[in-house]
Structure 1
Amino acid sequence: MKVVVLSSHTSSLFWFRMDMMREFVSNGYSVVAIGPDCEQDWVAKFSEYGIEYCSVPVERNGLNPYKDFKTYRAIKKTIKKIRPDKIFLYQAKTIVYGTLAAKQNNIKQIYILIAGLGSIFKGNGVINSIIRKILICQYRSACNASKKVLFQNKDDRNYFFEKKIVKREKTAVINGSGVNLDHFHEVNLPIKTVFLYIGRLIKDKGILEYLEACKSIKQKYPEVRCMLVGPFDTNPSALQKSELNNYTQNGIVEYYGEQTDVRPYIKRCSVFVLPSYHEGTPKAVLEAMAMGRAIITSDAPGCRETVIDNKNGFLVPVKNILILIEKMSFFVENPELAKAMGKESLKYVEQKYDVKKVNKSIMEIMEMI
C-alpha cells in the first residue's frame, strides 16, 4: 500500500516527520513525501530512508489566488500519478488544497494533522480577520472530506469544536510529533548557567520576549550566556536581521543560525526557553527535555502540555517579560534546581512523548496496524 505525506515545508517533512515515515516503511508501506523544495536537493536524502520524494509548488505565506490554483493543480496531478491508498496532510495550504486534490482523485483515506494554530487564528486586524474566516471555511471543507483529524493539544481541538469546523467523532489528540530517545539522550549540564532558544525567528514564537529577557539577565548576571538557534522566516511576524543585530552586536545573545543538528547546542545549555504564543506541541522543547534540560515556556496551547509547573520547569504568562526574567533569574541563582528539574523533564518525555509510542498511536488511528 502507498502512503503520501504532504507538507508545505520540505525541511519539516525531513526533520519532523521522518521517524513517522520510517515507521510506515518498516511496517511494509511504500511512502512518498511531497513538499515544495527542489527534487534535486532532496531526493537522495529521502531515498536513504527508503522514501520517495516529489516536489510541488507551494507558497506558504502567500495570498495570490493564481499561485494557489497552481498549487492545487500540481498536487492533484502528482496524487493522480502516485495513486496512494492513504494521504497524511499537515500545514494550512497543503491541508486545504491537498484534501481537495485527494477528494478529486477519489481517495477515501485522508488524514489531517493540525500541528498548531498559526498567527492567522491568533492575530488581530481587519485583514487578519477576513483571512481567518476564509481559512475556517476551507478547514471545514477539508475536515468534512477527511477520515480523521489529528490534533497535538486539546486547546486547538476545542477551538475547532467551538467554530463547528469538525465533528467530535472525527478527531483524535496525539502527543505531538514525539522525540527519538535513541537520538536525543541525557547529557551533563554545563558548569555555568546557559539559556537557549531554538525555533524560527518569528514574533509569535516569543523571540522578542526572549531577547528582551536576555538583555535584562546579561545586565544583572554578565557571566551568563544566552544562545539563539533558528532561521529567519517569511512569516508576516518574522524578526528582521536589523532587529536581531541590536542584540548580537552588543553581546546579549550568541546567534548560531539554522542548524540541522541541534544536539550540540542543547548540550551546551542548562535551561531551554521558548516563550511562544501558541504551538501544536513544540518539538524543540521535547528534544531539550530528552537531553535532561529544565524548561521555561509559556502557559499557552501546546506549550503548557510539556511542563508540569515547578517540577520540570516553569510556565510563564504569554508576552510577560517580567515573569520570564524572574524565572530565568531563578535558575541563575539556583543552578542545582536546573539539574533536578532536567531529570524530571527526561522522566516526563520518556513517559509521554517517546516517538515510538506517538507513531504507534498515529498508525492505529490511520488503521495501518
Structure 2
Amino acid sequence: MKKKICFVIDTFDFFLTHRLDLCNELSKKYSVSVITDTTDSEISGQSLAPKINFIHLSKRSGVFSYIRYFFELKKIIYKLKPSVTFFISVEISFTGSLLKIFSRNYFSAYLCFTGMGHNNGNTIRSKFFFHLKEIIFRLATRINNVYFIFQNSSHKDFLEIKFSIPKNKSFLIKGNGIKNFKTKLDFFEKINFCYSGRIEKEKNIEELIHAFKKVQENNNFCSELHLYGDYTKNINTPINKNLFFELKSYNIFMHGKLDQDQLFKEMSMHSVFVMPSNLEGLSKATLEAGALGLSIIAKDAPGVREAVAHNKNGYIYKNSLPSIMEDMIRDKNKTFELRKFSLLHIRKNFSLEVIAGQYIKIIERAS
C-alpha cells in the first residue's frame, strides 16, 4: 500500500503553476492528496493530474472564515491520515503550525516558506498578526515532527535565527522542479531581452524599462525588450502609466499574459532573461528561462540570484544593469556561451528529477 502524503495549497491556480509537476512526479511513488480551493476550477477527470486526489477547501477571507477554515482542514487531515503533510506558503504554514500545536496530530508537518510573508501596513491589527505568526512559528519548532523547508539560503539562514529553528529541522530545497528543457539552441545575431511575470513596481519593472531606455539612447541598438505578464488585473503596485508612452520607439514591447506553451515559444526566440525583482522566494520564471536556453541577468537579491552562476550562465547585478545589457549586445559569442551553460546549470541543480528526489528523501526520513 502506498504511503499517503498531502499538500495544503491556497488555490488551485497556484497548484497548477507551482506544484503540478512535482505532485505528479511524487504520485508515482506515493498516494498524493491536494487540499485547495477548487472554486471555478475544472478538476473532474483532471487529465493534468490523473493520480492526484483533490479535496476542496474554501479560502480564508476574515476572522470567522479563518476559524471555519482551521476546523475544516483539521477534519480533512484527520480523515485522510497522511504520513506527511506539506503546508505551502507562509500563511498556510501558520495554519499548519496551529494544527500541530493544538492537536498534536500524528502526521509529520513540513512548513514550506515560498517567501518571507508580508507585514502589510502599520495598523495595530496588522502588527499584532505579524508578531503572532512569529510566536506560533517559534512554538512549532519545539514539536518533534514539525520541519521547515526554505527555497533560498538567505531566507533559511535568517529565519533559523529569528524562529530558533534547530539545524536538523530546517531544509533547503530550491524550488519545485523544472520539467521542460530546450534541446537545441540557435545562435542569434540580434540580442533580445525579455521578462516574464507581473508588470508592477514591486517587481522593479520600472528599473528594467529605464535601464533599457538608457541603453537605446546611448547606442541606438536594434535589440528589443519584451515584457510578458499581466499589468491590468490583480496588480498591487501599478507602475507609472507615463512609462507606457513611446515604449515602441525604444523597441520595448508589452505582450500581456500568455498561456504557458505560447510564452515558452516566444521566450525561446530571445537571448537574455532579466529578473529585476528585489525579493523572491525562488523565481520560477527565471529558472524556466534558463531551461529554455536563455542567459540570465538577475538582481543581487534573495530568491533571484540563486538561478545565476555569475559569469557562467549570466550576471548578478546591483546598480550596473545598463552596462551589462550593453556588453551582452556587443559580445554575441559570449552571450551564446552563457546560454549554453544555462541549460546545464538549471538541469543539474533545479530539474524535476533533482527536486523530487530531495522531497522523497525527507518524506522517507519523516515517515
- Same fold? TM cut 0.5: yes
Residue 2 of structure 1 corresponds to which residue in structure 2? 4
Residue 260 of structure 2 corresponds to which residue in structure 1? 260
Output the CA distance in 2 between the equivalents of 1:67 and 1:55.
15
- The two structures have a TM-score, normalised by structure 2, of 0.85
- Secondary structure of the equivalent of 2:225? strand
The answer to whether 1:338 aligns with 2:335 is yes
Output the CA distance in 1 between the equivalents of 2:65 and 2:50.
32
Q: Do 1:95 and 1:142's aligned partners in 2 also have CA atoms closer than 8 Å?
A: no
Moved more, 89-98 or 292-301: 89-98
- The structure having more radius of gyration, on CA atoms, is 2
Moved more, 36-45 or 268-277: 36-45
Residue 24 of structure 1 corresponds to which residue in structure 2? 26
Question: Pairwise CA RMSD of aligned residues?
Answer: 3.0
Residue 272 of structure 2 corresponds to which residue in structure 1? 271
Query: Aligned letter for 1:270?
Result: S
Output the CA distance in 2 between the equivalents of 1:205 and 1:249.
21
Residue 78 of structure 1 corresponds to which residue in structure 2? 76
Residue 197 of structure 2 corresponds to which residue in structure 1? 199
The answer to whether 1:56 aligns with 2:57 is yes
Residue 168 of structure 2 corresponds to which residue in structure 1? 169
Query: Aligned letter for 2:73?
Result: I
Task: State the 1:191 CA deviation.
Answer: 3.5
Structure 2, unpaired ranges of 5+: none
The answer to whether 1:280 aligns with 2:278 is no
Residue 304 of structure 2 corresponds to which residue in structure 1? 303
Change (3 A) 1:258 1:207: farther
Q: Do 2:152 and 2:303's aligned partners in 1 also have CA atoms closer than 8 Å?
A: yes
Identity of aligned residues (%): 24
Residue 316 of structure 2 corresponds to which residue in structure 1? 315
Q: Do 2:279 and 2:304's aligned partners in 1 also have CA atoms closer than 8 Å?
A: yes
Residue 228 of structure 2 corresponds to which residue in structure 1? 229
Change (3 A) 1:92 1:243: farther
Residue 135 of structure 1 corresponds to which residue in structure 2? 133
Change (3 A) 1:106 1:255: same
- Secondary structure of the equivalent of 2:202? helix
Task: State the 1:246 CA deviation.
Answer: 4.5
Task: State the 1:4 CA deviation.
Answer: 1.2
Moved more, 100-109 or 79-88: 100-109
Task: State the 1:16 CA deviation.
Answer: 2.0
Aligned pairs for 1:185-196 within 5 A: 185-196=183-194
Task: State the 1:364 CA deviation.
Answer: 0.5
Moved more, 147-156 or 38-47: 38-47
Residue 153 of structure 1 corresponds to which residue in structure 2? 152
Output the CA distance in 2 between the equivalents of 1:114 and 1:96.
10
Change (3 A) 1:176 1:254: same
Task: State the 1:270 CA deviation.
Answer: 0.6
Query: Aligned letter for 2:156?
Result: R
Output the CA distance in 2 between the equivalents of 1:248 and 1:74.
50
Task: State the 1:71 CA deviation.
Answer: 2.8
Count of residue correspondences:
357
Change (3 A) 1:247 1:13: farther
Task: State the 1:166 CA deviation.
Answer: 2.0
Q: Do 2:195 and 2:226's aligned partners in 1 also have CA atoms closer than 8 Å?
A: yes
Output the CA distance in 2 between the equivalents of 1:247 and 1:13.
37
Output the CA distance in 2 between the equivalents of 1:131 and 1:215.
42
Output the CA distance in 2 between the equivalents of 1:160 and 1:102.
19
